[in-house]
Amino acid sequence: MAEDSCNGNLNHEAAKKAAHASGFGEERLAELRGLLGKADGDALRIVGVGAGAWGSVFIAMLQDAYGALRDSVQMRIWRRGGKEVDKPTAEHLFEVINAREDVLRRLICKCAYLKYVEARLGDRTLYADEILRDGFCLNMIDTPLCPLKVVTNLQEAVWDADIVVNALPSTEIRPVFQQIGRYWRERRTMPVIISLAKGVEAVLQPVPHIITPTQMIVDTTGVAAENVLYLGGPNIAAEVYNREYANARICGSEKWRKALAHFLRQPHFVVWDNSDLTTHEVMGGLKNVYAIGAGMVGALTNESATSKAVYFAHCTSEMIYITHLLAEQPERLAGPLLADTYVTLLKGRNAWYGEKLAKGELKIEMGDSISGKGMIQGVSAVEAFHELLRQPSLSVMHPELNKPVAPVELCPILRALYKILIQRNSPPGAILQALRDENMYDPRHRIEMDKVYIPQLLCGEKEIPLKKVPNPGAKILDPISGG
């Protein structure tokens, strides 16, 4: 009976066993192992780097699906050690544990329950890596996961990895993957990397250009670009782990993406593959920018559906316009791309952050790393996109004024967010002015300006002559005044 209590009553354990019994995943795993050249007896090693909500859920989902095949695949996750769990969080964690019989039984059977009792009483300090081993992500306490193998030594975690899942905030990718690149110098073959990160860097020298997370990884590790892919979609981490139906796309080289899409797909989590990495990765960063504004608009208008719809129309037109600056033939903002934008504006942490700012419950001076939520990626992305698009050298022809202007002049919401979040010289209410300017034109006109591709924006170190072909017949929204 004790064994049944420890193992048989756990929802995810039961699902995993049932899947294994029916042969679920074995064919997919064999396909991926063959593509990676894994010999019999040599387990496929999958490593998560970064243990925020989505990164932890992603590895936990793989653990649930394939963990029973431990001779063929092994999974672990890296996070920095030493992060303390404060007493209020420990108290709440104790409540979560006691509210879930399956979790309570599991911890008692592992003789791990007592430490949570002591932490609740203030007699013991818990650490983020410690609770992750028991299946609790610090940024998502209310959603218990399966237990994970957690490694706090980065070199130990990644040195022999076959597949690395990057779940770091974009602001942390460069320093962490520089270290990883040093560990991989002696490797004969490089791993495949799946990046979940959403964010960008703006670089102004030698020419203004943008660097996406996959490019940061290529630059710092020397891994071939074809081995680095991006996965994104309309996913709220806790809901996906609770088996709400979701979908995503894995984007990158055909060599890997189809087999990885097949491997990652689950009945409740459908993964498609796509070659257009640029559009999906840039949109992944842009949606966080405009989600902050969505949270502000909702709070400032008492969740007015009309106001939020107006905002949605304008912000998506800016996103499309910016994407057309960066990619010559970008995929249209439709399907999973539009759904990813929608769900982030609706319920993501960036929208939550904008809402709290507008209500005065958070202050910008508190920074963009929030306890219980993690990094608010949209803040750094606002600065990066604004700094890039304000450069005079990237100017496009303003069809109304018939003179060159910096691209940011055609993005009034982005400019308003920059004033609020980065310059800090405007209140959150200024976002409404970006919507209510009586001189604004139909956002459709901005979308029609789709021939404004500027090759140097993603060219890296190579200086390429500007190729600007604005649509002379298109009208444009009049930008809000100011710098």
Strand, coil or helix: 204:
coil
Rounded Cα distance, 59 and 48, in Å? 6
Q: Among candidates 257, 319, 297, 258, which has minimal Cα distance to 431?
A: 297
Alpha carbon of residue 318 to chain centroid: 20
Count Cβ neighbours within 10 Å for each residue of 441-476 and write b for 16 or more, e otherwise.
eebebbbbbbebbbbbbbebeeeeeeebebeeebeb
* 102: number of Cβ within 10 Å: 17
CA-to-CA dists, residue 120 to 88, 241, 264, angstroms: 8, 26, 37
* Cβ-based neighbours of 388, under 8 Å, separated by 6 or more: 202, 204, 208, 209, 210, 394, 457
Encode 109-176 in three state secondary structure: HCCCHHHHHHHHHCCCCEEHHHHHHCCCCCCCCCCCCCCCCEECCHHHHHCCCCEEEECCCHHHHHHH
Choose the catalytic residue: 38, 115, 198, 287. Answer: 287
Q: Which helix (H) or strand (E) holds 350?
A: helix 349-359
- What DSSP element (H or E) covers 246? strand 246-251
The answer to whether the CB of 349 falls within 8 A of the CB of 259 is no
CB of 46 within 8 A of CB of 73?
yes
Residue 251 near residue 309 (C-beta atoms within 8 A): no
| d(C-alpha 453, C-alpha 441), whole Å | 22
Which residues have C-beta within 8 Å of that of residue 21, sequence separation ≥ 6? none
Per the annotation, the verdict on 255 as an active-site residue is no
Rg (CA), the chain: 23
* CA 2 to chain centroid: 40
d(CA 284, CA 200): 9
Amino acid at 213: P
CB neighbours of residue 399 within 10 Å: 17
DSSP notation for 433-472 = HHHH-TTPPPTHHHHH------GGGG-TT----------T
Closest CA relative to residue 137, chosen from 393, 455, 373? 373
Q: Which residues are catalytic?
A: 287
